[in-house]
Amino acid sequence: MKISQKISPFIRNLNIKSVSYLKNHFKGDDIFKLVSALFASSIFLLLGLMVYELVKGSWLSIQTFGLNFIVGTTWDPAISRIFGVLPLILGTLVTSAITLLIGVPISLGVGLALSEYAPKKFGVTVSFLVELLAAVPSVIYGLWGIFVLIPFLRDHVYPYLKAVFGFIPIFSGPIYGGGVLTGGIVLAIMIIPTVSAVMRDLFSAVPNSQREAMIALGATKWETVKTVISYARSGVIGAVILGLGRAVGETMAITMVIGNRFQVWPSSLFDAWYTMAAIIANELLEATYDLYISALINVGLVLLFVTLIINILARLIVWRALRLTMGIARE
């Protein structure tokens, strides 16, 4: 019987007896199903409302600039009042990519070390510390970035990078300390706790039978670990998406270290750049006219769509990966 069919007699018999009716005819399972369906659909409602509000707020900007908003490379609130976000989209994507390049291998290592290699007591302690790191607010990472990491990188790391790899254009140019690479490093440090905690759980959840089977076949430790990674592959990609989500949307820490320079393409990894989330946080409070505010909300809308596209692409990769493994299994 469907839930709706059960509800209508329930409403008709709305008296004291209905309590016993409820007990007899309306099982806990059904109530739970209804409630969880309600919660699940609230996600659609929330997202719908968010898109509605963002479109409403950015309507003026959409009308004024149309698609030029996305491909435009000028952000001039003072004189021409023209707004275009291509540099911000590029800045967001590139810093996120750098973040993943640095953060994912380290997270993978932390996850594997904790689940496969570390003695149990040590593993538990480090896991606790990793989870503690995940709770540090982003502004703390930003401050640490300005006062500790930037001077360190500027004086002790970047000059050597430039000396050794300076012939590659991305490692040339003036060194300020802050910039694209610094932003990527700070973001990587921020995503490592979350991503590595998820990875550790994933690897711990791989059944021991898998490991035993590999060892029984005479595999080395490293070959066994490879099987473990492969077994948890779709989850690992999920964890990477989680980290990517944080990198794309991170505001406070990135704006404190990236240098906030609006330009289409930086001259090197040491140069300053800008991201979408950062410009909203920076300029919304003192945006002084309607089109300006609308353009900033429009940035939020574009950010939402960029996140959506990244997520869809990532899902496609997962889907492809799963199909591939199944194909191999059939052979």
Partner 1 sequence: MKTIYKAIIPIVIIAIVVTSVFAYQYLSTEQAITLNGAGATFPFPLIDKWAAEYHKIKPNVQVNYQGIGSGGGIQQHTEKTVYFAASDAPLTEAQAANATNTLHIPITIGGVVPIYNLPGIPKGLKFTGEILADIYLGKIIVWNDARLTAINPDINLPNQAIVVVRRSDGSGTTFIWTSYLSNVSPEWKNNVGRGTSVNWPTGLGGKGNDGVAALVQQTPYSIGYVEFTYAKKNNLTYGHVQNAAGEFIEPSIGSFAKAAEYAAVTLPRGDASWSKVSIVDSLANNTQAHGAYPITSFSYILVYKELNVLPNMNEAAAKALVDFLWWAVHEGQNYAADLYYVPLPSSVVAHNEETIRLIKFNGQQIRK
Sites of contact with partner 1 (CB under 8 A): 74-79, 146-147, 150-151, 154, 174, 176-178, 255-256, 259-262, 272, 274, 278, 281-289
C-beta of 123 vs 173, nearer to partner 1: 173
Amino acid identity of residue 102, one-letter, is I
Rounded to the nearest whole angstrom, what is the least distance from the CB of residue 175 to partner 1 in the complex? 10
Q: How far is the CB of 77 from partner 1 (least distance, A)?
A: 5
**CB of residue 4 to partner 1, shortest distance in Å:** 42
CB of 56 to partner 1, least distance (A): 17
* Contact criterion met (CB below 8 Å) for 186 and 139: no
Residue 160 to residues 32, 142, 166, 175, 269, Cα–Cα distance (Å) = 61, 24, 9, 11, 14
The residue type at 51? V
Cα distance between residue 108 and residue 121, in whole Å? 20
State how far the Cα of 297 lies from the Cα of 52, in Å rounded to an integer. 12
Residue closer to partner 1 (CB basis): 92 or 127: 92
Map tokens 């503690």 to a residue. 132
Tokens of 287: 């945006």
Based on CB atoms, which residue is closest to partner 1, 75 or 203?
75
Neighbours of 76 (CB within 10 A): 11
Residue placing its CB nearer to partner 1 in the complex, 75 or 171: 75
Nearer to partner 1, 82 or 134 (CB): 82
CB of 100 to partner 1, least distance (A): 25
